[in-house]
Amino acid sequence: MKRRILPVVLALMAGGFPASCPAQTFTLLHAFAPLVSSTNSDGALSYAALVRVSNTLYGTTYGGGAFSNGTVFAVNVDGTGFTNLHTFGLRVSARGTNSDGGWPVAGLVLAGSTLYGTTGLAGTNGRGTIYAINADGTGFTNLHNFSGNTDGSATTAKLVLSGNTLYGAAQGGGAVTAGLVGIMAAASVALLYSVGLAVLALAEALAG
């Protein structure tokens, strides 16, 4: 086995790549606008992977936007048609609360024509939210406001779709303030199992 591997390694080191290996071309699809006092028109700090639906890419930013609270955006695969689908609202009060959440570090998951995601901060309790938004940018809905108690808090992981259920993870909360496993049906979260690590799993039962 060693005798077979060595010539291949030497060939690669010498630049002996197969002739069928195509050159890669880098294309800048969109450059987010500079931040002014931590705000801009389209968002900043896009961390999560994009979701592709036909010829459109969907993603999130956890900074920037009109209120320095992140955005949900769409852009065509050729770089045209960039659209800011949602700007997360201004955080107010000492707890940093608002009506829709903020700091959406996690990416999106598509179910039908609806995109689902989570935010790590804000919402009515300042602990993050689960939200839904149509792929065309309409119908933004705050599905759940985390309390930081039995339902967890700081949801920074991408949701996973399995059948008609969305599963996700968060950093904190739970019955022992160290995380929990739960299921979300409609707009409420029920405790299924409490664990000893700072890990939270949640699920949203989807209609239809």
List, in sequence order, the alpha helices (H) in the chain. Answer: 2-13
Among residues 59, 41, 42, the alpha carbon closest in space to that of 50 is found at 59
109 beta partners: 116
Q: What is the pLDDT of residues 79-128, one digit of tens each?
A: 999 999 999 999 998 789 999 999 999 999 988 889 999 999 999 999 99
**All structural domains of the chain with their residue ranges:** 38-205
Q: What is the pLDDT of residues 158-205, one digit of tens each?
A: 888 777 777 777 777 655 433 333 434 333 343 333 332 223 334 444
The answer to whether 137 touches 85, Cβ cutoff 8 Å, is: yes
CA–CA dist 70, 128 (Å, integer)? 13
CA–CA dist 133, 115 (Å, integer)? 5
Give domain 38-205's CATH architecture: Beta Barrel (2.40)
Confidence of residue 208 (pLDDT cuts 50, 70, 90): very low
The answer to whether 48 touches 61, Cβ cutoff 8 Å, is: no
